[in-house]
Amino acid sequence: MGHFWYKLRLSHPWRYKAPVLLACVYMVFIKKQTSLSEMAPWLGLSLVTIVGIAGIGYLINDFSDRQSDGKAGKPNFFIDTSQLKVALSITVLTCCAIGPWYFFPMDRLSWVLFTGELVCFIIYSLPPFRLKKNIWVAPILDALYAHVLPVILATHTFLLITHAEFSFLHMAALVSWQLTLGIRLLINHLVEDRPHDLLNYHTLATQYSAHRIRRFLWYTMLIELLLFTSVLFFASNLFISISTGLVLLAFTLKQKSRYSFVENVPDSFYRKLLGGGLTVVLIFTHGSAYVLLLMIHMILFPVGQSHELRKVLSKLYQIGSVIVNYGIYYFRRFVLRQSEKQARREYYEQDLINKTNQMKSDQLGSITIANLNLNKYSETYIHEYKNQLPYGVDFLYGGYPPVFDEFGQPLIKSKSSINSKRQLQDAIVQRLNKTRSRLVLAHFGPMAVRMLPICRAAGVPMAAYFHAYDVHHKDQLEAHLAGYLDVFNHAHLLIGSSQEVIKKLNEMGAPEQKLKYLPAYVDLTRFTYVDHSSNQPNLLSVGRFADTKAPHLTILAFKQVLEEVPNARLTMIGDGELLEASISLTKALQIDHRVSFPGARSPMEIYEEMKNSRVFLQHSITTPLNHDKEGTPVAIMEAMACGLPVISTAHAGIAELISHEQNGLLIPELEIAQMAEQTIRCLKSVELSKKLGKNASESIRSNPLITDHMRIITEMINHFGLKQG
């Protein structure tokens, strides 16, 4: 039932349109002395027709979009809704829309406005007109049927009820305010709906960059505020209108660099405070009876918490810090006569990186990468984007959502605010705007869930990269499944590190047309081919000491290998929660003198170990309790690239890389005896070792998904990312 109401989307007009419509009605009350007891029934009927008309509008729009929405994987009321529910919904909403007008007084203008509303619905949504596809007409037409006509109809109706009058200038200001507001909100929606529209037809959001649109909407919003102030002046008095307008302008100017495509200061004011503020005016001008209206209004449209005030002291601290740092720098350069490198000292390398990154950003724009970890050795491939992509890269990390930039600087300077969800989101939105980010690449599902509302607010597309743990681990799925469904709906692209991850995402509800299989990046220039067949019997394992990699099973298999090849050695690189247990196991088996645990190592150190090894081992498994799995392990791809024979399990993405007996050896999960047997076989056969290693290197270097990884990512950014300019 919850999914039914979600697709019907009645919460949107209730939250965002009903408060403004009622506020316009309250303006009529201010103009004419009215009794609340007389007006209450009319207000009740107004709420009914507001919901009904809005609902019919959404149904007409969804009916016309059912095919394109199905193609894009977008929620649509007419997709997977039973005919009975459709019929009942249409009947009830039609009754709600039309029924109250049996009681409302109407004249010729009322009929014109009501008919105009229906005509706009039809020519906007339905063929042969379908003007929503016209990028210039659509915003105006949407503003007319969703904002201007309902407000004028509501205002005119209550003018008839109360026998009050509005001047021509008052009505003109009201029309202009609603037209400007409607155009701005429709363009906001187009930016947010960009991932779906890219698959169907062109809109302003697909034709122009979010940065250009943001500038346009910023100035539109200022004009809108001026028009609203004039409406308030005609409805109340000079003091109320000017004071309200100035306060709104002040708070709006504070958010200039972080204009949100979801909600801004004026939007929050219209939705949360405007109606309540006008009822307060009514209390002072019409009597205490209107306290009851204020209470009912606040119950129907709760204000909630306000987070608009900025951290002024934090901003002053940032400015002061910049002044002091540059003062020190110029003192060293021009007084102490130091070189650039000496003057910047430990920040010199960072400065070079920043300059290179800025140069890329100026030429082709930038992207933002969000990941939980900064330098986790098992995820070093993420940092290669900064070196290999032609774009500037802004790397954020440290939490869900991230709290630090690449250099460890907090995104919110005040430590007391670091856990403030709203302030952190605002800070990241501001950073996306400041860096003119073309796309956010969120690594791992939980990060995508937390970054989604931020990307939507900033109008920046998001690509979510799922790596395996995030879609297989039972606890992860239970914690984030609802968020994943939102990501599936709103993200522009869903990348999976293995075919099994892609399959799981599709089973969870991800639209097939958004899914892209792409293994993690491997720098093939670092892992060059070497013939390992004549090396000493040194076995190598690289990766986290985690349940899915089952290091204890590799150790048990190695125990059996030593019975046949007593001079064999095993090196297990990495760290993790099972490291100490693994060390203890080697001691218990009395083979600790043949096994070494050097800890985490850099990619170049790992390559040196690979050059001196004979066989690479990895016993990946599906964990029995949490059903966790691997993706396509980077360490296995690196080993294959440098010609090191790989013996592993037929598990997830590993089986997608390795063909048994051709470019590696695969065994069933948990079969340690078979792993030992295949390892011994490979150690004793130079020919087999040479064949597997050579074929492995060739297969990796001929796999376009691996060799062309950066080109593919670049094409994704060019296609889905915002246009530059």
Is the backbone peptide bond immediately before 128 cis, with ω within 30 degrees of 0? yes
- Examine the domain organization and report whether 513 and 542 are in the same domain: no
- Alpha-carbon distance 89 to 97, whole Å? 12
> Residue 469 has which token pair?
């743990």
Q: Rounded distance, CA 393 to CA 411, Å? A: 16
Q: Are residues 493 and 562 in the same domain?
A: no
Co-location of 681 and 585 in the same domain:
yes
Based on the domain organization, do 248 and 370 belong to the same domain?
A: no
Cβ within 8 Å of residue 576, ≥6 positions away: 544, 545, 546
Quote the longest CA-to-CA distance of the chain: 103
Which of 486, 517, 548 is the last residue before a domain boundary? 517
The three-point CA angle 59-64-66 to 5° equals: 85
Q: Rounded to an integer, what is the distance from CA 512 to the centroid of its chain?
A: 18
In a domain? residue 524: no
Residues 6+ apart with CB under 8 A from 392: 357, 358, 359, 360, 361, 362, 364, 365, 366, 367, 435
Residues of the chain with pLDDT under 70: 1-9, 68-75, 195-201, 255-258, 304-322, 324-326, 329, 332, 340-353, 375-383, 413-419, 724-725
Question: Which among 243, 276, 300 is the end of a domain?
Answer: 300
Model pLDDT, residue 125: 81
Residue 307: inside a domain, yes or no?
no
Rounded Cα distance between 75 and 79, Å, is: 8
Structural domain count of the chain: 3
387, 247: one domain: no
Residue 574 zone, left/alpha/beta (φ > 0; ψ -120 to 50; rest): left
Here the tokens at position 283 are 């209390």
173 in any annotated domain:
yes
Tokens of 668: 């069933």
Q: What is the DSSP string of 101-150?
A: GGTS---HHHHHHHHHHHHHHHHHHSTTT-GGGSTTHHHHHHHIIIIIHH
Distance (Å, rounded) from C-alpha 551 to C-alpha 579?
8
User: What is the Cβ-side half-sphere exposure of residue 84, based on CA atoms within 13 angstroms?
Assistant: 0
Same domain? 104 vs 194: yes
Residue type, 583: I
Q: What 3 state SS string does 141-168 have?
A: HHHHHHHHHHHHHHHHHHHHHHCCCCCH
DSSP state of 97: H
Among 267, 300, 333, the domain boundary falls at 300
Report CA torsion sign: 237, 241, 242, 243.
Answer: positive
Q: Are residues 454 and 506 in the same domain?
A: yes
CATH number at residue 204: 1.10.600
616: containing domain: 538-707
3-state secondary structure 418-486: CCCHHHHHHHHHHHHHHCCEEEEEEECHHHHHHHHHHHHHHCCCEEEEECCHHHHCHHHHHHHHHHHHH
In 173-299 the beta strands, taken as DSSP E runs, fall at none
pLDDT score, position 572: 97
- Tell whether 645 is covered by a domain: yes
Residue with tokens 């125990």, as numbered in its chain: 559
The verdict on 70 and 37 lying in the same domain is: yes
Provide the 8-state DSSP code for 337: -
Provide the pLDDT for residue 169: 94
Q: The tokens of 45 are what?
A: 């009927």
Q: Is residue 594 part of a domain?
A: yes
* Residue partners of 530: CB distance under 8 A and separation at least 6: 610, 611, 642, 643, 644
Query: Is residue 467 in some structural domain?
Result: yes
Q: Give every CB contact of residue 409 below 8 A, 6+ residues apart in sequence.
A: none
CA distances from 215 to 434, 478, 583 (A): 13, 40, 59
CA distance 522 to 638: 7
Q: What are phi and psi of 411, to 5 degrees?
A: -70, -25
Same domain, 167 and 271: yes
| Same domain assignment for residues 580 and 652 | yes
Q: For residues 382-416, b (16+ Cβ closer than 10 Å) or e, as one string? A: bbbbbeebebbbbbbbbbbbbbbbbeeeebbbeee
CA distance 155 to 723: 41
Q: What pLDDT is recorded for position 306? A: 41
The pTM for the full model equals: 0.69
φ and ψ at residue 626, rounded to 5 degrees: -95, -5
State phi, psi for 365 to the nearest 5 degrees.
90, 180
* Domain annotation covers residue 351: no
**To 5 degrees, how large is the angle CA 430–CA 432–CA 438?**
155
Length of the chain: 725
One domain for residues 510 and 543:
no
DSSP characters for 601-633?
--HHHHHHHHHT-SEEEE-----TTT-----S-
| Structural domain includes residue 503 | yes
Radius of gyration of the chain (CA): 32
Q: Which residues contact 433 (CB under 8 A, 6 or more apart)?
A: 211, 214, 257, 258, 259, 458
Which helix (H) or strand (E) covers residue 641, if one does?
helix 634-641
Amino acid at 175: V
What CATH number does residue 472 fall under?
3.40.50.2000
Residue with tokens 């007996």: 661
Name the residue type at position 471.
V
How far is CA 395 from each of CA 82, 257, 437, 451, 654, rounded to the nearest angstrom? 46, 20, 11, 13, 29
| Sign for the pseudo-dihedral over CA of 120, 170, 213, 512 | negative
Burial of 363 (0-12, 13-18, 19+ CB in 10 A): exposed
- Cα–Cα distance for residue pair 433/458, rounded to 1 Å: 7
Same domain, 383 and 478: yes
Q: Give pLDDT, residue 176.
A: 96
